[in-house]
Amino acid sequence: MSTRTYDHWIDGREYAPSGRQHIERHSPAHGGLLARFAEGSAQDVDIAVERAKALHVSRAWSSLPGSERAKLLSRLADLIERDAERLAEIEAEEVGKPIIYARGEVSWAAELTRFAASLAWQIKGEAYTHLGDDRLGLVTREARGVVGLIVPWNFPLVCLFQKLPYALAAGCPVVIKPSELTSGSALEVARLAAEAGFPAGLINIVTGRGEVVGERLTRHPDVSMISFTGSTRVGKQIAASAAGDLTRVALELGGKAANVVFADADLEAALDGVLFGVILNQGEECVAGTRLLIEESVADEFVARLVERASRVVVGLPLDDQTQIGALIHEQHLHSVLGYIEVGRQEGARLLCGGERLTQGSLGKGYFVGPTIFTEVRPEHRIFREEIFGPVLTVTRFKTVDEAIELANDTLYGLGNGLWTKDLDKALAVSQKLQSGTVYVNTYLESAPQLPFGGFKQSGYGRENGVDGLHEFLEVKATFIKTGPRTPVLPNTLG
């Protein structure tokens, strides 16, 4: 694919950045220039918010019947599927991830859009009809207003589509701020939305840096809500900035998921799930299952087989269909991951495989690290506690169910966890005690659009997907209606 150059997308068309500057994105896998994204300013954000607000005030979108909004969402899903391969290539190239997983990401984005369309048909309230013959209570749900969507670089489409179709279904115009590293797929989607027939001003995109574009969006007085996905560090800053005007905030933040494997599990399936959980997206994944907790009685054999399997994982260029691990996002992040590996060694954990930059053959110009497994990892080790965001797995043994639960919950995060056992009673009992927004049982990272996604503890608040994901973008209103002949409220003073 040739180098792509994008401006912002505002009011249904391309919009040159006020500063006339673009940010270059080079491939993390081979160094070639992939794309140029407009470098946005606070002024650009103001223009986008103004257009979105004008659409909201006109009620041209929010007052459309939900079924009409649903039609357009379904059309967008069709167009995403039509252009799936192009979108997957952009996603794979800009992130550095394997094309096989980028394809899955695109089809998940289309599926989420279809599901959100189905919700648009069903937005409803309640009527309280037993308040007395002359009284009626209505509870209705209204579009919140202009919503700022801020997304990270690791899953540009998935993170966007866990927000965008729901906001649109609810009737809200949006201003999107993609990551400055991976803005291409969002800008392509904006063009598809125009082709589908969405009104101008509904979907606006201002690209650029977080400290400029993101910061202005979170402080803008006409933005009613910020839905943010990214690091816990930036999430805390955003919550603080938004507090000035009490702007509503939904936060999808970092994680440090455990995969708990009991001796009575289907160990063959668990091997696959554990490995997939840590290599997907090079481990640059908020719900990456980076802490293996393994029952002592099967630990030696399980870990030996895991290391053998990890040695067969194909590390390669993003657009190669054989590749299972692509490149890390940029050089600084490569050094951060290698730095954690060094910390693990110094803390006394034992490195079983991986642990270094790969440079052979076609990997020479990129930021590649293969599956890396540390054993003898204790809860006080930094590699057990901190989000590494690379394909690095820690192994810790347990003897009892209670010990497994305690280890899994021994983290500031609470996004997801996995557990493996054939005993369904045990699975339910343990899943109830795991402090995370999602628990995967006998699988990892599988889900359905109907299920809400979000974090406990410092993994954030608010939910995406499911009906809860729609409700994030709806404001609740109570209307009390007096019907029939008037009875004075204060009979002695009002005539």
Judged by the rule CB under 6 A, the positions of this chain that interact with ligand NAD are 150-155, 159, 177, 179-180, 210-211, 214-215, 218, 229-231, 234, 237-238, 252-255, 286, 387, 415, 455, 459-460
Q: Is the dihedral of CA 201, 202, 207, 211 positive or negative?
A: positive
214 closest CA partner among 300, 152, 269: 152
Instruction: Tell me which amino acid residue 126 is.
Output: E
Say which residues have a Cβ less than 8 Å from residue 486's Cβ, sequence separation at least 6.
none
Say which residues have a Cβ less than 8 Å from residue 334's Cβ, sequence separation at least 6.
328, 357, 367, 369
Distance CA 275, CA 224 (A): 41
- Quick one: DSSP state of residue 199? P
Distance CA 59, CA 53 (A): 10
Max Cα separation, the chain? 92
Say which residues have a Cβ less than 8 Å from residue 339's Cβ, sequence separation at least 6.
none
3-class secondary-structure state, position 268: helix
Q: Annotated catalytic sites, by residue?
A: 252
Distance CA 443, CA 202 (A): 38
Burial class (CB in 10 A: 0-12, 13-18, 19+), 380: exposed
Distance CA 204, CA 15 (A): 10
Distance CA 371, CA 388 (A): 13
Helices (H), 252-353: 267-279, 296-310, 331-347
Cβ–Cβ < 8 Å for 289, 438: no
- C-beta of 74 vs 231, nearer to ligand NAD: 231
Distance CA 447, CA 439 (A): 10
> What does R_g of the chain's alpha carbons equal in angstroms?
24
- Quick one: DSSP state of residue 261? E
